Structure 1
């Protein structure tokens, strides 16, 4: 399992993270294993494809702010990654995606019904792993699952007429993405021996980091190529999802944007029109406006770390914010 590059990270810390991620990978393979060969293959499909492993890395890194990695930290990291993997199986069914992590999506490979059931199986496996960490960890997992589902439901629905669309969307991201990343930090800090104040700071930081992560992903859905991102460009546009750049572009009053506003009014069923919308949005000021907001949230996340001692793990967490935000540059 590779470790995402964190700029200027302390060498000894990097070595510990590499060793920790190897432990996470071994444990992940152990709990995903199944007696039925087909179930084992389907459950391991996205795990074997790799991915950024961002959430377990954050669990390990937050543990380093305390006393460092132990078996409970590793299991917590595995539980977080299993929860994330399960959500991907469900997301791809809802999005009718064709690519995930550079490989054929599970829904395309195994069908929607099997993909949903494999997602459920992985959620159950995650709960089993977390249950061994104690009742408080189970409660945190349950609250996170509720927020994940709430965010996903709200993401599928338009905001109320009197709601600000951008504020509504940012709230969706806090639930849909930020909640699990915050939980990754809570687990790492808790089982890594941090005090309650440090744990709370890291959890708040991580939720904002999660919003930055998703905002950057939304920008990449427009700006990147499939070969670079491992996902089909314009997936959000095809589904009619109102991401931040889309919301900003919809709000344009420039007559020259009429065609783009027309395309962004709802789901785009035609592949040529998806490509047209991607091309128009890539050069629209809405992209820069969304990038600036992404940087603003990144600054807020970084500022939360100011009260923690200046040590290698904290410096790495600050650098991690930059690495996440800069993906959309």
Structure 2
């Protein structure tokens, strides 16, 4: 059932997309900036149209997260990687819209699995309609994205299907945890590669593919996207500890409290196993009862003060560097500069 208090937003009232940090250089070329803006406006309209079927039962839930806003990083990457090859055509715009649809669908599913109360500052879909409707809405959006891709190309469908598979595998591996004698760090990274890296990689590759790149060039953009996605998630996990709670509106250490293994804690466990006394002390705080804010704050402070936090930042920066290296051989352009800047920006941020 729909919630009558939740009303879909009409296209003309859709949220205005602001370019994420790292893309400021695009403004240095007014013509390019106008082309990118025009393409993104068209992508947004295509997105909203695809999520709207004139069905009073499903439209409110299908449009819910799209109407709540978002940075639209993945469709932006699709547009930019196409622009590298001079091809902001209709297929690119459709591919950009459907890549955001896939992302939105994963959010519906993730929020149910994580019991997340909020998404983008509003109640999560499952809080409004319940788990079953949220899951089915995610499935519906994935189905519509597949229909859109089927109109484009067989290669696009292959990329999309492989991405679906990796997203599900990443979630399964995260849910099941390390198996047997699997190294905890290797497991953690494999989850990030599939759950986050794969979709950013697909966004970049689809733009290159439909923009006119050859297979070798498209592969380079895919490698760029995957590395950027990994760098972003690694940084996100560190920021969970280091963010200013008042500025971000989030309680630092949420992952610690929920027992989610992230890179700083994995490195801390390695250091403790090697006899590092400070790591042992910090780990005793991390593994204690963190239900009180005071205990959580003490554990967070201990982890942040230990060198493992800076080591974690170095790992995140290494993935950012890997992203830039992947496209270093492409001709220089403002778009390439923007992609380089974005790779830096995903780790040089506060939230």
TM-score calculated relative to the size of structure 2:
0.85
Q: What is the deviation of 1:327?
A: 1.9
Deviates more, 1:224-233 or 1:99-108: 224-233
Q: What is the deviation of 1:302?
A: 0.8
Match of 1:81 in 2: 100
Pair 1:50–1:276, CA change in 2 (3 A): farther
Pair 1:110–1:223, CA change in 2 (3 A): farther
- Distance in 1 between the 2:298 and 2:70 partners? 29
Pair 1:233–1:72, CA change in 2 (3 A): farther
8 Å contact kept, 1:93–1:112: yes
Q: Deviations over 1:109-148 (max 9, x none)?
A: 3222221111111111211111111222112111110000
Q: Is 1:166 matched with 2:185?
A: yes
Deviates more, 1:23-32 or 1:166-175: 166-175
Residue 212 of structure 2 aligns to a residue in which SS? coil
8 Å contact kept, 2:25–2:334: no
Residue 163 of structure 2 aligns to a residue in which SS? helix
Match of 1:66 in 2: 85
Match of 1:198 in 2: 217
- Distance in 1 between the 2:119 and 2:39 partners? 25
Q: What is the deviation of 1:161?
A: 4.5
Match of 2:134 in 1: 115
Pair 1:13–1:197, CA change in 2 (3 A): same
Task: Structure 2 unaligned segments of length 5 or more: list them.
Answer: 1-16
Q: Paired residue for 2:261, among 242, 251, 261?
A: 242
Match of 1:324 in 2: 346
Match of 2:51 in 1: 32
8 Å contact kept, 2:278–2:306: no
Match of 1:306 in 2: 328
8 Å contact kept, 1:3–1:21: no
8 Å contact kept, 1:3–1:17: no
Residue 86 of structure 2 aligns to a residue in which SS? coil
Pair 1:149–1:33, CA change in 2 (3 A): same
Superposition CA RMSD, Å: 2.3
Match of 1:8 in 2: 25
Match of 1:137 in 2: 156
8 Å contact kept, 1:102–1:229: no
Task: Structure 1 unaligned segments of length 5 or more: list them.
Answer: none
- Distance in 1 between the 2:255 and 2:75 partners? 26
TM-score calculated relative to the size of structure 1:
0.91
Task: Spell out the pairing of 1:153-192 with structure 2 (5 A cutoff).
Answer: 153-192=172-211
Count of residues paired in the alignment: 328
Match of 1:270 in 2: 291
Pair 1:42–1:279, CA change in 2 (3 A): farther
Q: Is 1:23 matched with 2:42?
A: yes
Q: What is the deviation of 1:315?
A: 1.5
- Distance in 1 between the 2:184 and 2:141 partners? 33
- Distance in 2 between the 1:110 and 1:298 partners? 38
Larger radius of gyration: 2
Q: Deviations over 1:186-209 (max 9, x none)?
A: 110011111222111111111111
Q: What is the deviation of 1:218?
A: 1.3
Q: What is the deviation of 1:260?
A: 4.0
- Distance in 1 between the 2:217 and 2:91 partners? 18
Pair 1:249–1:203, CA change in 2 (3 A): same
Pair 1:282–1:111, CA change in 2 (3 A): farther
Q: What is the deviation of 1:29?
A: 0.8
Match of 1:56 in 2: 75
Q: What is the deviation of 1:102?
A: 2.1
